[in-house]
Structure 1
């Protein structure tokens, strides 16, 4: 399992609309091969900054299966209008836990 961390900067004043769009996009993620779940976090210090933490079975499940699908197109249609800049995305693996 891997974790995708996407840092997303949105346009000021669109926070509630963005959060509603992400909630609508849950189904698009849920239909995706290899998807295991996600959380959306909002920065307290910088309220236009969000981090999406998505769990995938593999990097390829995200970068190939999801990004090449209609589900990704649906996700971007719903949330893309709120982006102030392209999201910064990286993939991590857990190395220590409690």
Structure 2
């Protein structure tokens, strides 16, 4: 299992619209190969900063299958207008858990 963590900065005043767009995009992710769920977290200290945490079966399910699909185009069409800057994305693997 791979975890994608995307830090997203949204334009001031667009937070509620961005959250609504992410909610609408749940169905887009649900059709993606290897998708296992996501969470959207909003910073308390910096309310225009979000972290999207997505679970994928493999790294390639995100970087190849999803990003190369119409699902990615649909996702960016829904949420992209609210970005203040391009998201900062990284992938992690769990090495210790409780």
TMscore range, shorter length: over 0.9
Counterpart in 2 of 1:14? 14
**Per-residue deviation, 1:63:** 0.4
Aligned length, in residue pairs: 98
Give structure 2 stretches of 5+ with no counterpart.
Answer: none
Counterpart in 1 of 2:86? 86
**What secondary structure does 2:44 align onto?**
coil
Give structure 1 stretches of 5+ with no counterpart.
Answer: none
TM-score by length of 1: 0.99
CA RMSD of aligned residues (A): 0.3
After superposition, give the CA deviation of every residue in 1:55-79 in whole Å (9 maximum; x if it has no partner): 0001100000000000000000000
Cα distance between partner residues in 2 of 1:59 and 1:84: 26
**What secondary structure does 2:73 align onto?**
helix
